[in-house]
Amino acid sequence: MIRRMADRLGHLGHSSLQRDQLDTLQPLGSPTSSQSISSSHLSQSSYDHRGSISTQATSVSDWSTDKRGAFSLESDMDMIQEEERPVRPKLVRRPRGVYRLSDFIIQRTLGTGSFGRVHLVRSKHNLRFYAIKVLNKERVVKMKQVEHTNNEQRMLECVQHPFIINLWGYFQDTANLYMVMDFVPGGELFTLLRRSNRFPDPVAKFYAAEVALALNHLHGLGIIYRDLKPENVLLNADGHIKVADFGFAKAVDTTTWTLCGTPDYLAPEVIGQQRYNKSVDWYALGILVYEMLFGLPPFHQTEQNHLRLYDRIQAGPSKVAFPVAAFSEHAKDFIMKLMEGDPSKRYGNMRHGAADVFAHPWFREVDWMRLEAREITAPYLPRITGDGDASAFDKYPEDDVSSTYGLLTPDLNGALFPDFEYTATP
C-alpha cells in the first residue's frame, strides 16, 4: 500500500456535482475565464469516442458503434507480432465461481462492438446485477485478437483492487466467449468530461489520484495496462472509479514492444517501435490529466491524420500550450514530468518509481490511504435511481441476439481459448 503522503485530502472530496450542475461549469472559452480559449476546441460534437488500435487489429475495447479512430496500422507501419518471452511474472489467480447462461436474466444491451455485446444481466440466485461481455469467437480469430482476449481474462483473474473492475467468472459455448464482470452504473468518465467540457483542478486531481493507485497496483503485479483513456475509466454508484477494458493489458517481466493503445495516448517510444515498459502507463496518465483540465488531449488535431499526430507526439511536449486558465504551475509540472520523452527520466520510471508520482506537489493534499479505502467523497455522484439503473448508458437495438446464445453451432476455435470452460449451455 502506498504510504501516507499527506494528512488530509482537503477540498477535493467536499463538493458533489450532480448531473444538473454540470452545465454550470464554465468552459475555458467563457467570458469569465481569465484566459480565452476558443470554444470550438471543446466542441462535443466534433470529438467523439476514440477507438483503440493495434498492429494486430482493432482492440476488443471498441465497445461503442460510434467510436471513431479505430483502424489497423498495417497500412501505416510494418506488422509487429506480440513476442512470447520465456519468463513471465507469476500471477496468482483468484478463486472464481462457475457460471452458466441459465444463471442470469439478460436485461438490456449496454454496448456493442466489433466482436459482440456487453449486456446488463441479473443473477437468478443472489439477484445482483452484473455486466456480461459476449465475444464471438469467429470474429475474435478473424481480427487476430486471440492473444489479447486471453490476456484480458488472465489479467483480470489475477487482479483485485477497489479502482479496477472485477471479473467474477468466464465460460464459452460453441460460438461465444462470456466474461461476467461488475456492473458499473455511473457510465464513462469520458461522458462526464464531454458534458462538463473540462474539470476544475480539484476534480481532475481526484480522478488522477485514483487512476494512479490503480496503475501502481497493476505494475506491482508486473502488468502493463496500455490503454488508459477516459473511455476506459468508469464511475461507480459512489462516484469512485473503476478502470475497465483489459484487452491490451499484459504481464511483462521487463519490456515489450507491440504497438497498441489509443493514438492520442501513445508514448513516443511505442510509436517509435522501441521496446518499452510500464512507464508508458505513466505517460498516458499525463495525457489524461491534460485532457481532464483542458478538455482535449495535448496533441489533438481536428483532421484524422494519425501519422501527423505521431510526428507531434514524438516531437515532445515542449510546444504544447498550457493556458493559465486551465493549468496551475504544479499541474503543468506534473504533466510535463509524466510526458517526458526519455523514459529513463520520466516520473514513475526513475529510481524511486511510483513514489515520485505520489509525492509530487500537485498531489500534496491527497491522503492516499483514505482515498484507496474510498473514505473520501467523490466530486460527482451519479444520479442512480436504484440497483440495475443503466440510464447512464446509450440504448441499442436488442435484435433478439441473446436468443442465439447457447445454441449448438460448428466450433472450430474453442481450443484457442483454453481457460474458458464449456458451461454456457443450460
- DSSP letter string over 319-345? G----TTT--HHHHHHHHHHS-SSGGG
Report the distance separating Cα 356 and Cα 348, nearest Å: 6
pLDDT exceeds cutoff 60 at 4: no
288 residue type, one letter:
L
State which of 26-40, 61-75, 321-335 shows the largest mean pLDDT.
321-335
Query: Which among 352, 211, 202, 204 is positioned nearest to 283, based on CA atoms?
Result: 211
The three three-digit cell numbers of residue 378, written as one number = 467523490
State which of 77-91, 140-154, 336-350 shows the largest mean pLDDT.
336-350
Neighbours of 85 (CB within 10 A): 12
Query: Which among 164, 208, 205, 217 is positioned nearest to 1, based on CA atoms?
Result: 217
Per-residue DSSP letter, 295:
S
Question: Could you give the 3-state DSSP secondary structure of residue 196?
Answer: helix
Lowest mean pLDDT, pick from 52-66, 312-326, 394-408: 52-66
Report the distance separating Cα 346 and Cα 197, nearest Å: 29
Report the distance separating Cα 101 and Cα 426, nearest Å: 7
pLDDT exceeds cutoff 60 at 72: no
Residue partners of 80: CB distance under 8 A and separation at least 6: 55, 257, 258, 259, 273
pLDDT exceeds cutoff 70 at 29: no
- Tell whether pTM > 0.85: no
227 is catalytic: yes
Neighbours of 423 (CB within 10 A): 18
376: left (phi over 0), alpha (psi -120 to 50) or beta: beta
Annotated binding site for ATP: 142
pLDDT digits (tens, 9 = 90+) for 328-376: 999 999 999 999 999 999 999 999 999 999 999 999 999 999 999 999 9
Which residues does residue 250 pair with via DSSP β-bridges, in sequence order? Answer: 224
pLDDT digits (tens, 9 = 90+) for 178-208: 999 999 999 999 999 999 999 999 999 999 9
pLDDT digits (tens, 9 = 90+) for 110-143: 999 889 999 999 999 999 999 999 999 999 999 9
The three three-digit cell numbers of residue 223, written as one number = 502488468
Question: Could you give the 3-state DSSP secondary structure of residue 396?
Answer: coil
Lowest mean pLDDT, pick from 75-84, 93-102, 127-136: 75-84
pLDDT exceeds cutoff 80 at 425: no
pLDDT exceeds cutoff 60 at 316: yes
What is the domain partition of the chain in residue ranges? 10-22+35-49+187-372, 54-78+87-185+389-405
Q: Which architecture, in CATH terms, is 54-78+87-185+389-405?
A: 2-Layer Sandwich (3.30)
10-22+35-49+187-372 carries CATH number 3.90.230.10: no
Annotated binding site: 142
Number of H helices, E strands in the chain: 11, 11
Report the distance separating Cα 300 and Cα 390, nearest Å: 31
Neighbours of 321 (CB within 10 A): 9
Report the distance separating Cα 122 and Cα 132, nearest Å: 10
* Among 62, 103, 227, 245, the one annotated catalytic: 227
Neighbours of 341 (CB within 10 A): 17
Q: Strands 176-182 and 167-172: what pairing?
A: antiparallel
Report the distance separating Cα 295 and Cα 282, nearest Å: 19
Helix (H) or strand (E) holding 311: helix 306-315
Question: Could you give the 3-state DSSP secondary structure of residue 203?
Answer: helix
Report the distance separating Cα 202 and Cα 126, nearest Å: 38
